[in-house]
């Protein structure tokens, strides 16, 4: 019998291990032939070498998840256990990329895997779904992977600067400083995938560009991986302008949430309009994600369902 000791540092033991070590017990139940003991800030694993390797991989993934989101539930532990079983059974590690600090970035749900497959087959993909379904995160990961593999020369990520209940004119700073908070989710995703100094280099040299949608007008986006985020807040004219920017050897993903349109009530969403206009055009793919794809806090799925079932929604 082999033993491995993992020391937990700078982490809330109660939140990571769970009440009465329930999160660790969940792993123990999945590996009955091994012994897992949590005592103090140490986790001791005793068993065969192959099982210890698998358990260690699960624990490292859980630590990465906890460090990123600050929370860990039994359901999430089960998800990581199942993911490890899947990659062990078929020998196919579906990691998209390894991010900073060794973070394994991969699809967590069938629809996320379908999004990845459709992007590989089509140059234009619409990914539509509620908050927390990983649309933006998986799309950014695909773009970073393409850049690392040198299949594209640059990444361009854009969002419409719609004032979602806030007035940009009253925010301090120049236009970039006003817009950057709206692009924060993009920066956060890239920060998980590219070391800060390298990301700074990419941005300073135009290899990664993050800009408001208005900056796309008049351009041709060649040899690029282009992501339009929050596309539900485009107008039909803006959407047409963006889609006609596609140049040779480019990939484009359009992400949006039809339930979170911040446009004036009399303004039609460019996302909904484009789906209706383009649904029969060959070479364009449409992916619908739903509450089952939510990978944030377990309550987000319940929140999405509650709002979705409300009579006035």
Highest mean pLDDT among 6-10, 102-106, 215-219, 241-245: 241-245
CATH number at residue 174: 3.40.50.300
The answer to whether residues 132 and 275 belong to one domain is: yes
Q: Pick the more confident residue, 284 or 196.
A: 284
Residue where one domain finishes, among candidates 93, 124, 145? 93
What's the mean per-residue pLDDT of the chain? 83
The answer to whether residues 131 and 81 belong to one domain is: no
Write out pLDDT tens, residues 133-166. 889 999 999 999 999 889 999 999 998 876 443 3
pLDDT at res. 284? 95
CATH number at residue 15: 3.30.1370.10
What tokens were used for 278? 């383009």
Residue where one domain finishes, among candidates 93, 123, 156? 93
Tell me: pLDDT of 174 over 60: no
pLDDT band at residue 250, thresholds of 50, 70 and 90?
very high
Write out pLDDT tens, residues 212-228. 888 888 888 999 999 99
The answer to whether residues 155 and 250 belong to one domain is: yes
Q: Is 51 inside any structural domain? A: yes
Mean pLDDT of all residues in 168-189: 64
pLDDT at res. 168? 47
Mean pLDDT is lowest, of 8-22, 224-238, 263-277, for 8-22
Q: Is 164 inside any structural domain? A: yes
The answer to whether residues 160 and 233 belong to one domain is: yes
pLDDT at res. 265? 84
Question: Which ranges of the chain does DSSP label H, i.e. alpha helix?
Answer: 13-17, 22-30, 49-69, 74-90, 110-121, 135-148, 175-179, 184-193, 196-204, 236-243, 270-278, 298-309
pLDDT at res. 164? 41
Distance between CA atoms of 304 and 307, rounded to whole angstroms? 5
Q: Is 182 inside any structural domain? A: yes
Q: Pick the more confident residue, 141 or 195.
A: 141
pLDDT band at residue 89, thresholds of 50, 70 and 90?
very low
Q: Is 99 inside any structural domain? A: no
Neighbours of 291 (CB within 10 A): 16
Give residues with Cβ within 8 angstroms of 297, minimum separation 6. Answer: 69, 71, 73
Neighbours of 190 (CB within 10 A): 23
The answer to whether residues 128 and 184 belong to one domain is: yes
The answer to whether residues 53 and 130 belong to one domain is: no
Query: Cβ distance 80 to 29 under 8 Å?
Result: no
pLDDT at res. 311? 58
What tokens were used for 215? 């900056």
Q: Is 100 inside any structural domain? A: no
Residue where one domain finishes, among candidates 93, 120, 154? 93
Q: pTM of this prediction?
A: 0.65
Q: Is 71 inside any structural domain? A: yes
The answer to whether residues 71 and 137 belong to one domain is: no
The answer to whether residues 128 and 47 belong to one domain is: no
The answer to whether residues 197 and 279 belong to one domain is: yes
Distance between CA atoms of 115 and 275, rounded to whole angstroms? 16
Question: Structurally, how many domains does the chain consist of?
Answer: 2
The answer to whether residues 261 and 119 belong to one domain is: yes
Owning domain of residue 244 = 106-309
Tell me: pLDDT of 17 over 80: yes
- Would you call 57 exposed, middle or buried from its count of C-beta atoms within 10 A (0-12, 13-18, 19+)? middle
Distance between CA atoms of 127 and 254, rounded to whole angstroms? 6
Q: Is 141 inside any structural domain? A: yes
Query: Cβ distance 54 to 84 under 8 Å?
Result: yes
Tell me: pLDDT of 1 over 80: no
pLDDT at res. 167? 45
Tell me: pLDDT of 234 over 80: yes
The answer to whether residues 263 and 291 belong to one domain is: yes
Q: Is 74 inside any structural domain? A: yes
The answer to whether residues 182 and 291 belong to one domain is: yes
Distance between CA atoms of 126 and 254, rounded to whole angstroms? 5
What tokens were used for 102? 């060794």
Mean pLDDT is lowest, of 194-208, 233-247, 289-303, for 289-303
Q: Pick the more confident residue, 311 or 31.
A: 31
Tell me: pLDDT of 169 over 60: no
């Amino acid at each position: 019998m082999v033993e491995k000791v993992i020391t937990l540092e700078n982490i809330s033991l109660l939140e990571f291990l769970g009440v009465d070590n329930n999160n660790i017990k969940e792993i123990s139940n999945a590996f009955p032939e091994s012994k897992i003991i949590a005592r103090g800030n140490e986790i001791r694993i005793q068993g065969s070498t192959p099982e210890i390797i698998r358990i260690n991989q699960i624990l490292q993934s859980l630590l990465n998840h906890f460090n990123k989101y600050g929370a860990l539930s039994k359901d999430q532990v089960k998800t990581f256990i199942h993911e490890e079983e899947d990659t062990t059974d078929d020998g196919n590690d579906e990691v998209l990329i390894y991010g900073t600090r060794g973070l394994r970035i991969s699809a967590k749900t069938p629809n996320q895997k379908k999004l990845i497959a459709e992007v590989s087959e089509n140059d234009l993909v619409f990914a539509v779904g509620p908050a927390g379904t990983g649309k933006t995160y998986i799309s950014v990961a695909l773009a970073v992977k393409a850049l690392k593999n040198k299949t594209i020369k640059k990444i361009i990520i854009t969002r419409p600067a719609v004032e979602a209940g806030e007035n940009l004119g009253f925010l301090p700073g120049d236009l970039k400083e006003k817009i950057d908070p709206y692009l924060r989710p993009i920066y956060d995703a890239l920060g998980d995938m590219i070391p800060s100094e390298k990301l700074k280099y990419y941005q300073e040299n135009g290899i990664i560009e993050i800009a408001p949608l208005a900056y796309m007008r008049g351009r041709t986006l060649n040899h690029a991986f282009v992501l339009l985020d929050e596309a539900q807040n485009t107008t039909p004219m803006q959407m047409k302008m963006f889609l006609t920017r596609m140049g040779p050897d480019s990939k484009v993903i359009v992400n949006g949430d039809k339930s979170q349109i911040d446009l004036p009530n009399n303004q039609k969403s460019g996302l909904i309009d484009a789906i209706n206009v383009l649904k029969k055009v060959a070479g364009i793919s449409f992916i619908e994600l739903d509450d089952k794809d939510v990978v944030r806090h377990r309550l987000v799925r319940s929140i999405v369902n509650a709002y979705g079932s409300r009579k006035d929604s």
